[in-house]
C-alpha cells in the first residue's frame, strides 16, 4: 500500500510536542497509515536534542494512571509500535516516545550514530518532555532491541537518579547481535573502504504480513552505516564494564530470535540486574512488537500481571 502522507511535508508542519497542537492533515494521514489513530487523545510534535530535530508522539487516555516511555529498535520508528501502544492505552497508561536520531521522522544520517551516549541524551530529553507535559506517575520504561539497550544503559549508569519509578520492560534486548565476532571483523575491514553496506530485510516475526509492510515502508533505512557498528562496539564494552543494578526488569525473549545473541545477552543481564523476571517464548522471533497476536498476548499478560 503506497504511503498516504509525505514525510517532508509532515516534518515541516510540526509544532513543539509540548504545545499539544492538533494533528495536521499530514499527521492524520501518517497515523492512519501506521494504525496509530487509536482511541485516545494524541499529539505529534518536535523537540531538539544534541543537534537533532526529533519527532515525538504522545497518546493520552481519558484518565491515565501511569506513563509508558517507549523506545524503538534499530531501523524502526514509532509507527511500527501500534500493538504495544494499543495495549498500554487499554491498561490506562499514557504513552510517549520519539523516533531516534536517524530514524523515522527525526533528523540525522539514516540509521547512523557516532556515539550511543547520544541515545541517553534523547531519553533524558524525553523525560524532560514528560515533565513539561505533566504526565502521570508511575513512569514505566519499555524498549525493544536497541530500545532495550538504551534502557539497560540508563538503569546501569543512573541508578537511584533515574526518574523511572515504575517497571522496566525489555523486549528482545540488545547487548550484542548474533555473529558478533564476525560483525566486528567485517567492520574493521570495511570501515577503511565504505561507509555502509546495503541492508538485507529478513523475516524477524512469524507474521507473514510484516516483512512486505517493512519493505514498502517509506521510513525504512536502506543501508547499514559502518559508524553505527563502531558505536555499538564501544557501547558493548561500556555495558560489560558497568556496575551492577538492584533493579529487577521484566525481560521477554524469543528463542527463535536470529537477530541478537540472546543466550549471551541474557547471561549479561542476569549478572547486571538483581533477579530479572524473564519470559521465554520458544517460537517467537526478534521483533516482538509485531509478532503474531497469540505471542503478543502471552507477553502482554506476563507484563500486565507485574505492572498491576
| pLDDT tens for the chain, residues 1 to 308 | 678 899 999 999 999 999 999 999 999 999 999 999 999 999 999 999 999 999 999 999 999 999 999 999 999 999 999 999 999 999 999 999 999 999 999 999 999 999 999 999 999 999 999 999 999 999 999 999 999 999 999 999 999 999 999 999 999 999 999 967 666 666 575 665 667 777 889 999 999 999 999 999 999 999 989 999 899 999 999 999 999 999 999 999 999 999 999 999 999 999 999 999 999 999 999 999 999 999 999 999 999 999 97
Residue 106's region, left for phi above 0, alpha for psi from -120 to 50, else beta, is beta
Matching residue, cell 514509532:
78
Structural domain boundaries in the chain? 7-307
- 196 contacts 224 by C-beta, under 8 angstroms: yes
Determine what percent of the chain falls in helix, strand and coil, rounding each to the nearest 5: 40, 20, 40
Q: What are phi and psi of 277, to 5 degrees?
A: -95, 120
Nearest to 162 by CA among 199, 123, 108, 135: 123
Q: How far is CA 190 from the centre of its chain?
A: 27
- 30 contacts 36 by C-beta, under 8 angstroms: yes
Q: Which CATH architecture has domain 7-307?
A: 3-Layer(aba) Sandwich (3.40)
Q: How far is CA 65 from the centre of its chain?
A: 22
The predicted structure's pLDDT at residue 6: 96
What's the predicted TM-score (pTM) here?
A: 0.96
In the chain, count H helices and then E strands.
10, 10
Paired residues of 142 in beta bridges: 70, 169
Cα distance between residue 201 and residue 211, in whole Å? 8
Nearest to 265 by CA among 274, 253, 277, 279: 253
- 140 contacts 66 by C-beta, under 8 angstroms: yes
Cα distance between residue 58 and residue 65, in whole Å? 15
Cα distance between residue 255 and residue 185, in whole Å? 26
- 175 contacts 269 by C-beta, under 8 angstroms: yes
- 39 contacts 18 by C-beta, under 8 angstroms: no
| Burial label, 216 (beta-carbon count in 10 A; 0-12, 13-18, 19+) | exposed
* In 15-98, alpha helices (H): 25-34, 82-90
Paired residues of 97 in beta bridges: 57, 70
Cα distance between residue 130 and residue 95, in whole Å? 10
Amino acid at each position: 500500500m503506497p504511503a498516504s502522507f509525505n514525510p517532508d511535508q509532515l516534518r515541516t508542519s510540526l509544532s513543539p510536542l509540548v504545545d499539544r497542537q492538533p494533528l495536521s492533515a499530514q499527521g492524520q494521514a501518517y497515523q492512519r497509515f501506521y494504525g496509530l489513530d487509536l482511541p485516545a487523545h494524541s499529539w505529534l510534535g518536535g523537540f531538539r536534542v544534541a543537534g537533532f530535530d526529533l519527532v515525538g508522539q504522545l497518546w493520552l487516555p481519558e484518565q491515565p494512571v501511569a506513563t509508558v516511555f517507549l523506545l524503538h529498535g534499530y531501523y524502526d520508528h514509532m509507527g511500527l509500535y501500534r500493538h504495544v501502544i494499543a495495549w498500554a492505552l487499554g491498561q490506562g497508561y499514557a504513552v510517549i516516545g520519539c523516533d531516534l536520531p536517524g530514524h523515522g521522522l527525526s533528523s540525522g544520517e539514516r540509521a547512523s550514530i557516532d556515539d550511543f551516549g547520544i541515545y541517553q541524551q534523547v531519553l533524558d530529553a524525553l523525560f524532560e518532555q514528560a515533565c513539561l507535559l505533566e504526565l502521570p506517575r508511575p513512569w514505566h520504561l519499555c524498549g525493544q532491541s536497541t530500545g532495550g539497550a538504551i534502557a539497560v544503559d540508563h538503569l546501569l549508569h543512573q541508578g537511584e537518579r533515574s526518574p523511572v519509578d515504575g517497571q522496566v520492560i525489555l523486549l528482545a534486548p540488545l547487548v550484542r547481535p548474533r555473529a558478533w565476532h564476525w560483525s566486528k571483523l567485517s567492520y574493521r575491514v570495511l570501515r577503511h573502504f565504505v561507509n555502509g553496506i546495503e541492508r538485507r530485510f529478513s523475516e524477524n516475526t512469524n507474521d507473514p504480513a510484516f516483512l512486505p509492510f517493512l519493505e514498502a515502508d517509506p521510513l525504512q533505512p536502506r543501508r547499514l552505516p559502518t559508524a553505527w557498528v563502531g558505536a555499538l562496539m564501544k557501547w558493548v564494552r561500556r555495558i560489560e564494564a558497568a556496575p551492577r543494578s538492584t533493579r529487577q526488569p521484566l525481560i521477554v525473549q524469543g528463542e527463535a530470535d536470529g537477530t541478537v545473541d540472546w543466550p549471551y545477552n541474557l547471561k549479561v543481564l542476569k549478572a547486571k540486574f538483581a533477579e530479572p523476571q524473564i519470559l521465554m517464548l520458544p517460537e517467537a522471533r526478534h521483533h516482538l512488537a509485531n509478532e503474531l497476536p497469540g505471542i503478543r498476548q502471552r507477553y502482554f499478560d506476563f507484563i500486565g500481571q507485574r505492572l498491576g
